[in-house]
A = this chain, B = another copy of it.
Amino acid sequence: MQFSSKLLEQAVDEFGRLPGVGKKTALRLVLHLLKQPDGEVSRFTGSINDLKEHIRYCRTCFNIADQDTCEICSASKRDHETICVVEDTRDVMAIENTNQYQGVYHVLGGLISPMDGVGPTDLKIDALLERLRTGEVKEVILALSATMEGDTTIFYLYRKLKDFNVQISTIARGIAFGGELEYVDELTLGRSIATRVPYERNN
């Protein structure tokens, strides 16, 4: 791309660094911002700078928070005996949206991935073990993605957790509700037959 302005090129370069944003999209976004009133643009950049500067992570569960302790960890009506271990804050939001979970969380901040140079020490695993040492926790639910990284992390966590007196569980895998059998991938379908459950439990 031949830019008519260095400033334009720099802004497009910066936008193009974002994941999933190509050069053409970056240019479209930058030109959109250029058309907005000054106030809108400074509000845009200001919100990012504010977030970066003032963001905190809950001291207990490491979820993104505005205070030292997040709302979930400080809520007395939540079940503090059950910890759901997730990769990042998006998973917390997804699970909260289901309204099916009353326990608390532990946000690892990633998954073990040797390919990306992420090892166990890069994740909040020691802090999780620390939480278990209080003896208050009865169950740890490993709610991680069904990917190689997720499985590797579950395996690592399982070995660390099994010495504690806690129930360790993983979220159920199988065909999705509303999923049509013919469109389910072979692995999921095969496993869901192998791990079939009595009719009474599923209904």
Contact = CB atoms under 8 A, between A and B. Distances in A.
A93 interface: yes
Contacts of A15: 44
Contacts of A151: none
B71 A4 contact: yes
A105 to B, nearest CB: 9
Interface stretch (A61-69, A157-165, A168-176): A61-69
Instruction: Specify the main secondary structure of chain A where it touches its partner.
Output: helix
Nearest to A50: B7
A32 interface: yes
Contact of A1 (B19, B27, B93): B93
A88 to B, nearest CB: 7
Contact of A52 (B1, B41, B47): B41
A78 interface: no
Interface string A54-81: 1110100001111000111000000000
Nearest to A3: B93
A11 B93 contact: no
A196 interface: no
Interface string A129-160: 00000000000000000000000000000000
Contacts of A7: 47, 50-51, 54-55, 66
Interface of A: 1-8, 10-11, 13-15, 17-21, 25, 27-34, 38, 41-52, 54-56, 58, 63-66, 70-72, 88-90, 92-93, 96-97
